[in-house]
């Protein structure tokens, strides 16, 4: 009975520790990943899901969000569609299979990111995102969707000598 309880606890942790990915973008590439990383600097928040293989590291999904103009604090849901400045998208999603160049998915038709906790370097950060892509543009993934949950400690991506005001 104790073994069953331990197995259930491990399964729960596997389901909740780290996060998950889903969506129709999975028809273009596998959404399996082995680890995730969250980076933050004064102007951006980035969640990357990696798949480690014996010979390479794949970037399964990388969501980069420009946080300029947002009160990027827990308890908020942020609109990721559109631009933060003319000609500059609020959010960009890329995929890079090991040994290949990064490929950009189309612009977001709709997208939100919910920050449940954390958000600053050194903080355990939890949240989720739901994205749908335009039918044109990008390298692939037209009209597809991707959703993800994340749970990790944020790494400070502020470069030495730069303004760390967002950290």
Cα separation, 136 vs 144, whole angstroms: 11
39-73 pLDDT per residue, tens: 999 999 999 999 999 999 999 999 999 999 999 99
Rg of the chain's alpha carbons, rounded to an integer?
17
Q: What is the pTM of this model?
A: 0.86
pLDDT, tens digit (0-9, with 9 covering 90-100), for 17-36: 456 999 999 999 999 999 99
> What's the pLDDT tens digit per position in 91-142?
999 999 998 999 999 999 999 999 999 999 999 999 999 999 999 999 999 9
Interstrand relation of 35-40 and 145-156 (parallel, antiparallel or unpaired): parallel
Cα–Cα distance, 102 to 46 (Å, whole number):
15
How far apart CA 118 and CA 19 sit, in angstroms, is 15
Residue 138 CB contacts under 8 Å (≥ 6 apart), including other chains = 103, 104, 105, 106, 107
CA angle 159, 163, 167 (to 5 degrees): 80
Question: Residue 159 corresponds to which tokens in the numbers above?
Answer: 């470069």
């Amino acid at each position: 009975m104790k073994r069953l309880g331990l197995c259930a606890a491990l399964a729960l942790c596997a389901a909740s520790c780290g996060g998950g990915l889903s969506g129709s973008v999975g028809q273009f590439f596998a959404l399996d990943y082995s680890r995730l990383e969250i980076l933050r600097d004064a102007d951006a928040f980035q969640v990357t899901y990696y798949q480690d293989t014996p010979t390479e590291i794949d970037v399964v999904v990388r969501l980069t969000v420009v946080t300029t103009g947002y009160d990027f604090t827990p308890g908020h849901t942020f609109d990721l569609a559109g631009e933060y400045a003319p000609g500059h998208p609020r959010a960009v999603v890329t995929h890079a299979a090991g040994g290949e160049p990064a490929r950009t998915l189309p612009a977001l038709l709709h997208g939100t990111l919910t920050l449940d906790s954390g958000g600053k370097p050194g903080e355990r950060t939890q949240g989720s995102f739901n994205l749908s892509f335009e039918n044109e543009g990008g390298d692939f993934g037209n009209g597809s969707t991707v959703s993800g949950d994340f749970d990790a400690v944020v790494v400070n991506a502020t470069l030495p000598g730069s303004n760390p005001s967002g950290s």
